[in-house]
Amino acid sequence: MRELYPPIEPYNQDYLSVSVLHTLYYEQSGNPEGTPVVVLHGGPGGGSLPDYRRYFNPQKWRIILFDQRGCGKSTPHAELQDNTTWDLVADIERLRTHLGLEQWVVFGGSWGSTLSLAYAQSHPERCQGLILRGIFLLRSQELNWMYQEGASYIFPDTWEEYVKPIPLEERDNFLSAYYRRLTSDDPQVRREAAQAWSVWEASTSKLFPDLNLMEKFADDRFADAFARIECHYFINLGFFDSEDWFFQNLDRIRQIPTAIVQGRYDLVCPMKTAWEVHRAWPEADFQVIADAGHSMAEPGIRSALIEMSDRFPV
């Protein structure tokens, strides 16, 4: 079982203005002459973590992290205006150009896998490879499972906390009910909804509940961006033209060397989606971790991702 590489500090930290409104934080660590890899964090709205640097051999990789619009150290915080999948795809290209890179490996899990695939299909010539985890295509069936009914059968206790802010008469559509509260002008309404939404996801992310993760997700500042931006994307179905967007454009990326890691017991992004991707895209390496849930920090998922980063690019 592989452990994370030792902690490292960035050799470069800066900000990149991507619009009149939005400015992104980005950083670089590892080997400035190494193979560039850009890490696309989850959420949307989750922001980057220092541990993301530790999935890569710092002698081999030029590790690039950035906080997507509205979250982490990017500004303005929790902003929904001009914040769509296609804005983020354009931001990734701006960052690549800004750094003077011809190609890079794209690494992303959960929402990061969605964004990785959307970026790759838009700019396949810029992708040297893809390393993906917890496949999520942002289809209504996936959202209904997590936020309307399905996962409640597995986590009925934590589900009770998730539904508390929503009155009975609005529970036929939790996404809409939460969106109204997360965009409320009342700070207390917004705070209560953001914490309930965020802690629900933290409660379901690991095979064994992680109280430290739940505490992090309950933090007011983190929860505000995480819940608002997630709900904004989810109620708009990721701003995709079709729920079949990935399969319709698969041939654009079929040739890109790709590795996929999926936890068998991932309840946030259930394996059914990853399996459908695997069946449609057999050229991609596909690994199922038998004793893992959703989080990239699950021991089996962590180990598999490090092994993949060690052998990439192929």
Q: Do 114 and 163 belong together in one domain?
A: no
Q: Do 54 and 193 belong together in one domain?
A: no
pTM comes to: 0.97
Q: What is the pLDDT of residue 279?
A: 98
Q: Do 133 and 245 belong together in one domain?
A: yes
| 4 part of a folded domain | no
User: 225 exposed, middle or buried (CB, 10 Å; 0-12, 13-18, 19+)?
Assistant: buried
Count structural domains, the chain. 2
Q: Do 126 and 216 belong together in one domain?
A: no
Range of the domain at 220: 140-238
Q: What is the pLDDT of residues 128-164, one digit of tens each?
A: 999 999 999 999 999 999 999 999 999 999 999 999 9
Among 188, 222, 238, the domain-final residue is 238
Q: Do 271 and 134 belong together in one domain?
A: yes
Q: Do 163 and 199 belong together in one domain?
A: yes
Q: Do 197 and 259 belong together in one domain?
A: no
List, by residue number, the catalytic residues. 110, 266, 294
DSSP string of 72-118, one letter each residue:
TT-BSTT--TT-SHHHHHHHHHHHHHHTT-S-EEEEEETHHHHHHHH
Q: What is the pLDDT of residues 200-234, one digit of tens each?
A: 999 999 999 899 999 999 999 999 999 999 999 99
